Amino acid sequence: MLSKHENSKVRNTAMLFDTEMGKLAKVFEEYKMKYVIASKIIQNTAGFLLDTKAIFTALEKRIKKEDLELYPLLK
CA atoms within 13 Å, Cβ hemisphere of 71 = 7
Burial track 15-42 (b if 16+ CB lie within 10 A, e otherwise): eebeeeeeeeeeeeeebeeebeeeeebe
Q: Which helix (H) or strand (E) holds 67?
A: none
pTM over 0.75: yes
- How confident is the prediction along the chain (75 residues), in pLDDT tens digits per residue? 888 899 999 999 989 888 888 889 999 999 999 999 999 999 999 999 999 999 999 999 999 999 999 999 998
Query: What pLDDT sits at residue 56?
Result: 96
Query: What pLDDT sits at residue 75?
Result: 82
Query: What pLDDT sits at residue 10?
Result: 92
